[in-house]
């Protein structure tokens, strides 16, 4: 029966893909699909892919190979590839993997119901267009079922920066912002279903300039302030940002908007001006440090997170030392660091590569420094009182786990009645990747 169909989605990569997977499931809900946690017994398997990491496409083909047995046992099983690898590979996926029934890019997944119909008729379906219509306007209305206390909400997609290492402009397209009214409507709907914390998503989220109800473009700061007026929405976050789009009013919002949490992910990628220029980042190490100082002046307790690429083509030991010096100057509470890997079709992929052993050694040194800073930031929380949004059971019986204002994982002895609520917690211990707290009141 159509109404009994099971859908399994495996999501790779960023938070935006998590959001997209939710919307894909909702889009297929009208075709009678409900989510299942296992590919065994599913009527459709969707891989929502990411193209950022090394050998992303090959990993997708490897994953597809694991489903051959399921397809052989159930010829009616439909298998689809979505997301950025789908956008980049397109027809190549259908050519290399005959068991795939449909391929859909990240800007076209609102058309999944039509593609599923084609697949059910035995036709292989491909849609990797950049359609003119707003996919969000064509998606089904989100179901009213209650959900967890935190949620992602995409407000901006695409990127116009064309960093030399990045495929996003090619797989997600040009920067586009959703209209303010639609964002606010979706946010109110999420809050009505039990959401207390919303993270605004975008490939370059602080480049948000959506059409406001007054007919003018609204920046991210104005959107944040409008969201803060929604009763029941207690916390607002956003990711991922570009230093060049950190406008004055957004910096000010970190100081005067109580619902905007004291956490900011602000990638820099390198501390070397020479490498930043080669990356086409269009900012310098010094301008980044000045920006950090301005943001911290507005919100002194802000925890800063960043991204770093080590071993970018042309990087010397002196360039890498510049990165270490920037890290020491900033003091990160969290960070993500990777060894450079070429993405086909990007400018940097055609350049001479750094010796992989040297790059790996540099990455180890960088991650050691970043790890020390993360532990220091967590240790500094001991004795402080923070708000914790409880989201799931803890690691031990009688515990709940949640996120602090600064996005730290916190474990607390608390009754299950606190689930989904924000409570004041005193931090009593710092563990390697989390904090332990004591419930106050």
Rounded Cα distance, 87 and 95, in Å: 14
Establish whether 163 is an annotated binding residue: yes
Rounded Cα distance, 134 and 118, in Å: 22
Rounded Cα distance, 406 and 409, in Å: 9
The sign one gets for the Cα dihedral 235, 327, 163, 88 is negative
Closest Cα to residue 177, out of 139, 140, 136? 136
Rounded Cα distance, 225 and 121, in Å: 48
172 phi/psi in degrees, rounded to 5: -110, -15
CA distances from 28 to 32, 103, 145, 151 (A): 7, 15, 16, 20
Question: DSSP class of residue 327?
Answer: H
Is residue 135 a contact partner of residue 107, using CB atoms and an 8 Å limit? yes
Closest Cα to residue 93, out of 42, 40, 56, 38? 56
Closest Cα to residue 359, out of 307, 318, 320, 306? 320
Q: Which residues pair with 126 in a beta bridge?
A: 103
Question: DSSP class of residue 398?
Answer: T
Establish whether 257 is an annotated binding residue: no
Q: 């406008």: which residue's tokens?
A: 247
Judged on CB neighbours under 10 Å (0-12, 13-18, 19+), 91 is exposed
Is residue 133 a contact partner of residue 155, using CB atoms and an 8 Å limit? no
Rounded Cα distance, 310 and 360, in Å: 8
Is residue 134 a contact partner of residue 200, using CB atoms and an 8 Å limit? no
Residue 160, number of CB atoms within 10 A of its CB: 13
Rounded Cα distance, 219 and 184, in Å: 14
User: CA 437, 440, 441 angle in degrees (round to 5)?
Assistant: 160
Binding residues for [4Fe-4S] cluster: 14, 50, 84, 159, 163, 166
Binding residues: 14, 50, 84, 159, 163, 166
């Amino acid at each position: 029966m159509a109404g009994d169909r099971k859908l399994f989605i495996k999501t790779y990569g960023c938070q935006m893909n998590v959001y997209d997977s939710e919307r894909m499931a909702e889009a297929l809900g009208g075709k009678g699909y409900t989510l299942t946690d296992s590919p065994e017994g599913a009527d459709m398997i969707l891989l929502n892919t990411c193209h950022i990491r090394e050998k992303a496409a090959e990993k997708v083909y490897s994953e597809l190979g694991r489903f051959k047995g399921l397809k052989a046992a159930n010829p009616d099983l439909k298998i689809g590839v979505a997301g950025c690898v789908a956008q980049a590979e397109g027809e190549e996926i259908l050519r290399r993997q005959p068991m795939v029934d449909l391929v859909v890019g990240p800007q076209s997944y609102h058309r999944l119901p039509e593609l599923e119909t084609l697949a059910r008729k035995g036709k292989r379906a491909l849609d990797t267009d950049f359609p003119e219509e707003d996919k969000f306007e064509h998606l089904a209305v989100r179901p009213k079922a209650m959900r967890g206390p935190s949620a992602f909400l995409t407000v901006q997609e695409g990127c116009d920066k064309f960093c030399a290492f990045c495929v996003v402009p090619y797989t997600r397209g040009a920067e586009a912002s959703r209209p303010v009214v639609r964002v606010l409507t979706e946010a109110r709907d999420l809050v009505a279903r039990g959401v207390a914390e919303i993270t605004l998503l975008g490939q370059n989220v602080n480049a948000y300039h959506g059409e406001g109800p007054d007919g003018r473009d609204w920046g991210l700061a104005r959107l944040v302030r409008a969201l803060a007026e929604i009763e029941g929405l207690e916390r607002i976050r956003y990711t991922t940002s570009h230093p060049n789009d950190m406008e004055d009013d957004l910096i000010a919002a970190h100081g005067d908007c109580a619902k905007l949490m004291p956490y900011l992910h602000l990638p820099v990628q390198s501390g070397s001006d020479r490498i930043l220029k080669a990356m086409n980042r269009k900012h310098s190490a010094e301008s980044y440090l000045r920006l950090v100082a301005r943001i911290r002046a507005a919100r002194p307790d802000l925890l800063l997170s960043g991204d770093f690429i080590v071993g970018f083509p042309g990087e010397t030991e002196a360039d890498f030392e510049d990165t270490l010096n920037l890290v020491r100057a900033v003091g990160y509470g969290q960070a993500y660091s990777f060894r450079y890997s070429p993405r086909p079709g990007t400018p940097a992929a055609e350049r001479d590569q750094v010796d992989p052993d040297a790059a790996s050694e540099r990455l180890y040194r960088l991650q050691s420094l970043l790890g020390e800073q993360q532990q220091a930031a967590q240790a500094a929380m001991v004795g402080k009182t923070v708000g914790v949004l409880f989201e799931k059971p803890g690691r031990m019986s009688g515990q709940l786990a949640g996120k602090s204002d600064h996005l730290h994982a916190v474990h607390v002895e608390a009754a299950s009645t606190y689930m989904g609520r924000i409570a004041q917690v005193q931090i009593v211990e710092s563990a390697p990747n989390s904090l332990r707290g004591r419930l106050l009141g």
